[in-house]
Copies of this chain bind each other. A is one copy, B any other.
Amino acid sequence: MAAEDNMKKPRLAVVGASGAVGRKVLDVIEVRDFPFTSIDLLTSERSAGMWVSVRGERTQYKKLTKESFDGVDIAIFDVPDEVSAEYVPFARDAGCIAVDNSGAFRMYRNVPLVVPEINAYALKGHRGIVANPNCTTAITLMALAPLHDRFGIKQVKVTTFQAVSGAGQAGVDELERQVNEWKQGAELTTKAFPHPIFGNVIPQVGSFLPSGYTTEEEKLRREGAKILDLPELRISARCVRAPVFTAHSIDVMAVFEDRITAAEARACLEQARGIDVIDDPDQSEYPMPLNATGKYNCKVGGIRKDCAFDNAISLFVSGDQLLKGAALNAVQIAELLIK
């Protein structure tokens, strides 16, 4: 078979297949019926050897090594930055295209950073590595990009409500454990987060930079600028961890170059792909973690003309950060690669 034919039904690998995002990737591949000739589930030594079912077939986790990518066409990486930094180049050098969910390569000039609904064109000219944006970036941009296309973003202020699963299974375990501790009247113990998250909100996601902003807040700015191809994008974020299991919510206030009304913004968003407008305040219908969890589309609502800034729109977006913020977006990129 020629390489081109291989890409219609590629030999696939999922790196970090036993993790929270890796497992979601396998779900999404199944639901969307992503075609493949073979699939390798690569994990750390700890999980290697265990068996799982993929599309009804018993499949064994294999230990990730430098040689894992021989004969693989596309590898989706769902591992920490340092693991991607080490293994993604082995994949590329073996002629495999790496779709990387980590932050290791996102800002490299030759690495496209892609949200398929927004900048699929950027995939062209990739050199074997394609990066998936940070979850908060992807979800925020799903609401902002369609408005930018039509009205031109000038300045953006966002405040996030981020789910504990954004910190992986450890974050989920922490909230569950603290619920139990609280029930027992015990002191809340902390491991995953710097402070208790049950009954609290923590205005820190990532670590603080000299600017006073956090790494998470800075990612939104830099990745947003790259994806929208707006190098000078002015976006200021406050990222806050909330006691929510899944789905990030983001309050967005954006000032545009052009005049804009709430009705125009709503009409524009209703036509956009990958989002559902939920905006019936009289019926108490708006985006929330509970109606975004498990959903492929991000939910956008609470759309109104901002009363304090001119040419500005205020809206609220909720999205499953394990799906559009990670697994779904990565599989969508892979779908573009095999087109």
Contact = CB atoms under 8 A, between A and B. Distances in A.
A243 B236 CA distance: 25
Interface string A244-259: 1100010101000000
A275 B285 CA distance: 36
Given A211-B304, A244-B200, A308-B236, A284 B195 contact: yes
A61 B200 CA distance: 34
A99 interface: no
A302 interface: yes
Contacts of A251: 159, 203, 238, 240
B281 A212 contact: yes
A204 B236 contact: no
Contacts of A234: 307-309
B156 A308 contact: yes
Contacts of A235: 307-308
A221 B307 contact: yes
A125 interface: no
Nearest to A214: B281
Contact of A304 (B159, B213, B242, B309): B213
Interface residues of A, number: 55
A68 interface: no
Contacts of A11: none
A155 interface: yes
A201 B245 contact: no
Contacts of A22: none
A196 interface: yes
Interface stretch (A116-124, A141-149, A286-294): A286-294
A211 B282 CA distance: 12
A316 interface: yes
A159 B156 contact: no
B242 A201 contact: yes
A56 interface: no
Contact of A243 (B204, B240, B243, B305): B243
Interface of A: 155-157, 159, 161, 179-180, 182-183, 194-196, 199-204, 208, 211-214, 221, 234-236, 238, 240, 242-245, 249, 251, 253, 262, 281-282, 284, 286-290, 302-309, 314, 316
The 5 closest A-B pairs by CB, nearest first: A212-B304, A236-B308, A159-B159, A208-B281, A234-B308
